[in-house]
Structures are given as structure tokens and as C-alpha cells.
Amino acid sequence: MYQLPEDGFVRESQILGNPNAVPPIPPVIPVSRSTWWAGVKCGRFPKPVKLGPRTSAWCVGEIRALIEKLRESREVA
């Protein structure tokens, strides 16, 4: 499984996966791109940080917190 870095930022393909990459990147959060962006828009998923005019990234700490929150909600259900 793909490992998130300890700190810093990750790009969309590192979160949602990229089967066309060499080697393929498995998803950390297995949702579609449209579901991800809808979740960002409504506040369910963290908002990105703009690193440039065409570059968005997410803080690894926020992604780790989201993964933990999703795990906890699965355990309760």
C-alpha cells in the first residue's frame, strides 16, 4: 500500500490514486474525483492549499485526520 509522507503536502493523485502511473498509485481514500471535489465543496473533506495557479495540494496532517475519522465512523456502524 502507498505510504503517506510524514509531513508536508500531497496531491490529488496521491490521495485518490492513479492506476496509470508507473508504478500504479493505489488510492488512500477510495472515492471518485467528482465525489472528492463535492466533499471538498460541502466541507466533508479538507480544502486544498493553492501552491500555484494550477497546483493544489492537501496538508498530510489533515488527510491523516480524515482517514482516522473515516475509520472511526466505520467501527461505529
- Of the candidates 39, 22, 21, which has an alpha carbon nearest to the alpha carbon of residue 30? 39
User: Do 7 and 63 form a contact (C-beta atoms < 8 A)?
Assistant: no
pTM value? 0.86
Confidence at residue 40, expressed as pLDDT on a 0 to 100 scale: 97
**Domain spans in the chain, listed from the N-terminal domain onward:** 9-76
Confidence at residue 19, expressed as pLDDT on a 0 to 100 scale: 93
1 pLDDT above the threshold of 70: no
pLDDT tens digits for range 15-64: 999 999 999 999 999 999 999 999 999 999 999 999 999 999 999 999 99
Confidence category of residue 2, pLDDT binned at 50, 70, 90: low
